[in-house]
Amino acid sequence: MNAPDTMPPIDLLESDPERFRRKAAAARAALAHDPHRPAYHFTPPANWMNDPNGVMQWNGRCHLFYQHHPDGSFWDDMHWGHAVSNDLVHWRDLPIALAPDPGGPDRDGVYSGCAVDDDGVPTLVYTSNQHPDQTVSLAVALDPADPELIRWRKDPGNPVLATYPPGVEVLRTDDGHVHFRDPAVWREGDEWKMLLGSGIPGVGGVVLLYRSLDLRGWEFVGPLLTGDQEQRDPVWLGSMWECPQLFPLGERHVLMVSVWHDKRTFYPACLVGDYGSNRFVPETVHVLDAGSGYAPQSFLDERGQRVLFVWLREQRGSAAQTAAGWSGAMSIPWLLTLGNDATLRFAPPAALAALRREHHHAHDIEIAVGSDWISPDIQGNSLELIAEFAPGLTGASGLIVRRSPGGEEQTRIGHDPVQQVLFVDKSRASLDREAEHTGAEARFALSAGEPLRLHLFVDHSVLEVVANDRVLLTERLYPTRADSLGVGAFAGDAAATLTALDGWEMASAWD
């Protein structure tokens, strides 16, 4: 029996663009009243979404493909969903780009992959899943001049890479499945390079490097980097790496991998270092997002900006996701740069400011030890907040969001200078005991005299936090009360001064 508030199933398998558009619009309208459904973070029109795939800019427009189950809000039967945007803020749903072919090498799912420009032809390179194997396949845009790139044709030669390298033993789980997936391809000189994520049994995650002249015939070059699953410091990297991506940033190279172990997904990790002679030598390793984020993918836009999307996993049970009729949200597009300390810096795209509505400002708020300050005018479930605290904090302090008037529900985001962490405390985030109450923390220290700066995007069940431009932490929040809208600030073991707080209500990105 369905619970009374369960959404009726919405089937998004429709290839006619006009009919699809109507279906997707109807699905979005039907889900718009869900208090947990984000308004300005990308979500699938309905049903399940995981990794961002094939992100790219083509003839000015940004294309976002995503792992998608078009027929239910749970992970199954992977397709590539597709949306397009002129500004990275407003999206338009397009028909499913890739579906599994019965009898084809992708019959058990079109898994993650990337997009490249093959001499004027947009080309998708993806994982074709045929239990228990994973191979690499291609699809090309039927009409590269179509601004929406709606139609894709799979390569008749698929799979273009049929098996893992000879002599390399890749991870196989006890169910027999081989873990060898998620191609990331780039142009280097006069050849193509490709990474695949895998694991070496008993050793750790591995990124395998290939080369090709035509995207269709691939030669194994060697492992780009191999991890050590026993090593805990500074970051444990598990036994298998999903969704690798290597790209230049500033004067260095960044390698992103998503840490997988024993059939569980952990967190995306970011390694910054040097790439040359087909090897990558990391200098720093950090967790990209210790919260809900996973499987990030980035692209270089036409202005030369490195734009990152991260899948924000649900943090509530599968029954709640099924009842909701949708699952999964995408981070805002984060613009990446590199700091002098060889770690990432995160900035929202300027275009996002188009969604800012009513603005409120507060300044020089003194918060006594162990007390909270509640803003008299900033509140809501769709907000952008920018806060700065006076330097010299000696106790934990930060912001409060999604707070009910009596404080029964609230989420605290702060910096603890003693533990040297940025944290999201979700112990009271929701009165719904089924929603995950474990928050997250990330290593974060301020230098002497540096003020704490918190940049928050609150969007219904999504919370994205960036501290001092350099630490990203995302969480999912499911407050039950309609009045859990309050915003404030707190001081723990020591008084704090909130020098400035700016809050904007954010409009929906959908018409």
Where do contacts with ligand FRU occur on this chain (CB under 6 A)? 50-51, 67, 78, 111-112, 127, 181-182, 242-243, 265, 294-295
From the CB of 423, what's the least distance to ligand FRU, in Å?
25
Distance (Å, rounded) from C-alpha 350 to C-alpha 358?
Answer: 17
Task: List the end-to-end C-alpha distance of the chain, in Å, as a whole number.
Answer: 34
- Lookup: tokens for 221: 């070059």
Distance (Å, rounded) from C-alpha 478 to C-alpha 36?
Answer: 6
Which residue, 243 or 338, is less far from ligand FRU as judged by CB?
A: 243
Sign of CA dihedral 340, 342, 343, 348: positive
What residue spans of 34-156 are helical by DSSP H?
none
Which residue, 112 or 468, is less far from ligand FRU as judged by CB?
A: 112
Which residue, 108 or 372, is less far from ligand FRU as judged by CB?
A: 108
CB atoms within 10 A of CB 121: 12
From the CB of 349, what's the least distance to ligand FRU, in Å?
24
- Give the phi and the psi of residue 369 in degrees, each rounded to 5: -50, 130
- DSSP assignments along 244-276, one per residue: EEEEEETTEEEEEEEEEETTEEEEEEEEEEEEE
Q: How many residues does the chain have?
A: 511
- Lookup: tokens for 244: 């690798």
Which residue, 270 or 452, is less far from ligand FRU as judged by CB?
A: 270
From the CB of 395, what's the least distance to ligand FRU, in Å?
38
Which residues pair with residue 71 across a beta bridge?
Answer: none
From the CB of 205, what's the least distance to ligand FRU, in Å?
12
Which residue, 40 or 294, is less far from ligand FRU as judged by CB?
A: 294
Give the three-class secondary structure for 129. Answer: strand
Distance (Å, rounded) from C-alpha 309 to C-alpha 326?
Answer: 19
Which residue, 27 or 243, is less far from ligand FRU as judged by CB?
A: 243
From the CB of 126, what's the least distance to ligand FRU, in Å?
8
Give the three-class secondary structure for 414. Answer: strand
From the CB of 476, what's the least distance to ligand FRU, in Å?
16
From the CB of 51, what's the least distance to ligand FRU, in Å?
5
Distance (Å, rounded) from C-alpha 292 to C-alpha 303?
Answer: 29
Q: Which of 306, 311, 264, 263 is nearest to 288 (CA)?
A: 311
Which residue, 192 or 294, is less far from ligand FRU as judged by CB?
A: 294
| Angle 46-47-51 from CA coordinates, rounded to 5° | 105
From the CB of 179, what's the least distance to ligand FRU, in Å?
8
From the CB of 260, what's the least distance to ligand FRU, in Å?
7
Q: Which of 354, 361, 303, 315 is nearest to 332 (CA)?
A: 354
Distance (Å, rounded) from C-alpha 227 to C-alpha 246?
Answer: 16
Which residue, 258 or 430, is less far from ligand FRU as judged by CB?
A: 258
Which residue, 57 or 258, is less far from ligand FRU as judged by CB?
A: 258
